[in-house]
Chains A and B, each alone.
Chain A
Amino acid sequence: MPSLAPARKYGKCLSLGVKAGIEYRVNILFSIAGAISPVVIQTALWLVLYAGDPGAIMFGFTFPQMVAYTVIAQLVTRIVRTGFEYDVNYDIKSGGLDRYLVKPIGYFGFRIFSFLGDKLVQGAAIGALLAVSVVVMSTALGFATTAASVLLFVLALFLALAMNFLLFWCVSLSGFWLTEIGFLFEAVRIVIVAASGGILPLAVFGPDAERALKLMPFRFTIQFPTEVLSGRVPPSEMLPSFALCALWLIALAALGRVVWGRGIRRFAAVGS
């Protein structure tokens, strides 16, 4: 009979993340508050753009659909946002990585389960807000979703979390070669948020750019789950999209493994 010990080990890491999430609950409030201003600014922008013709369709969106997209995308952005990359960089830079290397636990496993634990708390809080937003938008904007869309959204959101984790995991491992990478994280975050449809729907960038961006992994972090909940993904595209998402997850996990293997050989903890 297989041992349950490894599951308990990583379950403990998950519970650590949950505890951290609860302990830093004020942080969740700030995260939600941080979502308000982009929503207000973007809604104001769309109000101006749609003002001349309230029934217009821009980039495939009516005005109510665009506002709904803006709200959902912002909340999804908050849910999938990472922060562990700073811890990874600090562990590499300060030598704190030692504490994981000498113990029978994988550092990747520790980080991803702590991250998911933390996200369980944030996800519950922001998810509740999202549910309220959906109810409000269905009344005010005629937003409609289905039970199937909600279920697929939950799956897409879980994959979005994994995708964002792997993207930032790979970036954070550059700490093995570069000493100061705080700005790199921010630069990458801005590019990913833009390329994932977190600021504007990808259609805004034009058909060619949209086609190219749809093949990249970034849209699976924000736009894809947002569109799944909004019912904007045609049934014929659903399975291929999930399959592409899974392929990118496998590719990024493999890339992370290779980079980790090379980086750890370079690792020279401070002090001699």
Chain B
Amino acid sequence: MAIIEVEHLCRSFDYYEKAGGIGGSIGNLFSRKKLVKEAVRDVSFSIEGGTTVGFLGPNGAGKTTTLKMLSGIMHPSSGEARVLGHVPWARKKDFRRRISIVMGQRSQLWPDLPAIESFDLNRAIYEIDRAEYRSTLDELVAAFAVEDQLKVQVRRLSLGERMKMEIIAALLHRPSVLFLDEPTIGLDIVSQRAIRDMLRGLNARFGTTVMLTSHYLSDIEDLCERIILINHGSVVYDGALSGVNATLADRKTVRLVLSEKLDESRLSSFPGYKSSDGSTAVFEVDRAKVREFSRKALDALPVADLTIEDMPLEEGIARLYRGEAPDA
């Protein structure tokens, strides 16, 4: 059953063009050119309950704007959406009790309060039974190993500590839907892994529906079976993660480690040349022609080592960002 349904969602922002310099500032006092940015354009998708979906796109693609509309923070310019059967921006109490949002770049906690005070405030706000609150909190605090930081003012926590506290705060009321906007941004590998482990367990144990944006593909590969790619405000791919590189399945990356440095001009004469740092060269080759390419390269170039790899996920995603359809 679809828990999140989005149809033709649009959101535009007005802004003003401002010329540089003092002259521009003075001119701006008298006339300003109004511009419109279409942050989200005709986005439609639906998400089944209990799934974890990656919501990807380059900076400024409209990911955060979409999550803000789906969590009820922002009204759309047009279009419709239902989350758990509610129109999000109507902000009904039942809706707000059943969702959570964590934004890596903006705290949902109260910066002047110690984290434990924020949690206690959330307990009152979400009307959580005290015993249930205690057991959930203990479990989450132990999982993230943040017991020593509970009484520290949130503004004094490190980024990694704060993000763990943000996620704890977001999970205390056991939301049915969790929106995560770059929850691992700027975190070290250990913290990223801790957060991923937590989210995986959450999905498995409670069937929480998770919508996740992240620029770290490890987050996506670890957690999401499906991704929705958005660029310039529009959906450019919606499907299985494995499908992203489907069209690249007939392509291979051949990496040559050279025993002596070569000019780029010599390397680029080989078909499929992509890049080189002088001692290593990378080529993109048709799967059927890998054997032939390898033989030619070994004959013509001073090759010390040769590896053949599948195309990286980043490449598939980058192609989709550029508007190249996966079945193109």
Contacts and interface: CB of A to CB of B under 8 A. Distances in A.
Interface of A: 3, 5, 8-9, 11-13, 16, 20, 95-96, 98-99, 101-105, 265, 267-269, 271-272
Contacts of A103: 96, 122, 125-126
Interface of B: 13, 37, 39, 60, 62, 64-65, 68, 71-75, 91, 93, 96-97, 99-101, 103, 105-110, 112-113, 117, 120-122, 124-127
Given A102-B96, A104-B97, A105-B125, A269 B75 contact: no
B73 A272 contact: no
A105 B127 CA distance: 10
Nearest to B99: A102
A98 B64 CA distance: 12
A12 B117 CA distance: 10
A9 B112 CA distance: 19
Contacts of B97: 104
Contact of B126 (A13, A16, A104): A104
A104 B100 CA distance: 11
A269 B105 CA distance: 12
B39 A272 contact: yes
A233 B73 CA distance: 48
Contacts of A102: 71-73, 96, 99-101, 108
A99 B108 CA distance: 5
B47 to A, nearest CB: 18
A45 to B, nearest CB: 40
21 contacts: A3-B127, A8-B127, A9-B124, A9-B125, A16-B113, A95-B106, A98-B106, A99-B107, A99-B108, A101-B73, A101-B91, A102-B73, A102-B100, A104-B93, A267-B75, A268-B74, A269-B68, A269-B74, A271-B106, A272-B37, A272-B39
A191 B255 CA distance: 74
A101 B101 CA distance: 11
Contacts of A265: 75
A25 B163 CA distance: 31
B38 to A, nearest CB: 11
Among A13, A96, A101, A272, max chain B CB count under 10 A is at: A272
B121 A272 contact: no
B100 to A, nearest CB: 7
A219 B50 CA distance: 58
Contacts of A5: 124, 127
A271 B11 CA distance: 13
A104 B96 CA distance: 5
B65 A272 contact: yes
Given A271-B105, A271-B106, A272-B65, A101 B72 contact: yes
Among A20, A104, A265, max chain B CB count under 10 A is at: A104
Contacts of B127: 3, 5, 8-9, 104
